[in-house]
Amino acid sequence: MKTKKALLGLTVDELKDVAAEVGLPAYAGKQMARWLYVRGVNDIGMMTDLPKKGRETLATLYEVGMAAPTDCQRSTDGTVKYLFPTENGRTVETVFIPDGERGTLCVSSQIGCRMGCRFCMTARQGFEGNLSVRDILNQLYSLPERERLTNVVFMGQGEPMDNLDAVLKATRLLTAEYGWAWSPKRITVSTVGVAPGLERFLAESECHLAISLHNPFPDERRAAMPAENAYSLTDFIALLKKHDWSHQRRLSFEYIVFEGLNDMPRHARELARLLGAMACRVNLIRFHTIPDTPYKGASEEKMTWMRDYLTAHGVTTTIRTSRGEDIMAACGLLNTAKKQENKII
C-alpha cells in the first residue's frame, strides 16, 4: 500500500498546491492550515468546511501526520520526557518542563548528533538522521500538554544548525499568522557554533540564540567538543560581535561547569574578556554525570563564585536550575538508542 504524505509541516502555499492536486479551490489551502495549525485536528475528516468529496480524495493521498508519543517518564519535579516516533521508523526524545505559568518544551532536531561532545549522551548515540519538519512539529502538536506551552527551546537531541532548513521552516510555521502566531521571542535555537548555519540563522530568523560554549579557550574546548576543529569559537564570536543585537533578540551562552577543567579563575577572566562587550547572558549549568566519563561537576561554591565574578565584570550570569535529572531528561542526557534496542515503541 502506498504511504500517504503528511500535511503537518506544509506552509499555506504548499497546502494550496495540495488543494489544487485534489480538485479543491486555492482558498481550501487556508482552510486546511486553520484546521492543522490553529485547531490541531488529527483527522482529515474533521475538516468540515471542506466539501465531503474533496476530503475523501484528500484522505486517499494524505494524512494529517500527527503521531502520539509511545512512551513517557515523569520526574519528581514535574518534568516529563516523551518518546516520539519519526517518519523514518525511529524515535526521538522530547522534554516538557512546567514552571508555574510557564511551560517549556525542549525539542529535538535530529536523531542522535554528529557533533561528538564528550560529555553528552546524545553524542554517544551517534548520528541517525535529520528530523523532518513534520517530525519537529509533531513534538509540539502531539504533546499532551500542548495547551500549556509558552516557550520552545531547540536544545534536545541534535545540532539545529546541522538541520537548518527543517528548523527554520518549523519556526516559521510556529510564528506564521496562519500557524500558532507566536512571537519569535518565545523560541530559542541552540548551536555549538556551526558557522555556516549560524550566519544564515541570524539573517533569516528573529528567534533567540543560545551558544553551547563550555570553554573560552579554543584548545581546551576542542578536547571536549570536537566541533571546535571545524567551527572555531574565534570565528563564531567574531560573527556574533558583528551582528546587531538591538532588536530584542536575546543572545545567551550555555556553560556546563566541570571541576578542574573550566572553572578556574583564568576561565572566568577569559569569559569576561571574550563576552564583556556583548549584550548577552551566560547560563551556568550543572554537569549531570554520564557513565564512563572522566568529567565531574564543579561544586556549588565554585559555580556561585563564577556567577558572581562574571556578573561583577559586566557579564550577566545565572545558574540554571536542573530539571528532570532522575529520568535522564536534563541537559546532555537525552539518548534514544537504548529504547530503540529494547523496542519500546
Residue 171's φ and ψ, nearest 5 degrees, are -70, -35
Catalytic: 254? no
- Annotated active-site residue in 87, 93, 117, 206: 93
How many residues are given for the chain? 345
Gyration radius (Cα) of the chain, Å: 21
User: Do the strands 80-85 and 71-74 form a parallel or antiparallel pair, or are they unpaired?
Assistant: antiparallel
Active site residue 93: yes
| CB distance 82 to 143 below 8 Å | yes
For the chain, what percentages of helix, strand and coil (3-state, to nearest 5) are there? 40, 20, 40
Please state the φ and ψ torsions of residue 280, each to the nearest 5 degrees: -150, 175
CA distance 203 to 190: 15
Catalytic residue among 87, 220, 331, 341: 331
Block residue for cell numbers 569576561: 272
Question: Three-state SS for 190?
Answer: strand
Grid cell at residue 158:
541534535
* Strand-pair partners of 83: 71, 93
Instruction: Tell me the catalytic residues.
Output: 93, 331
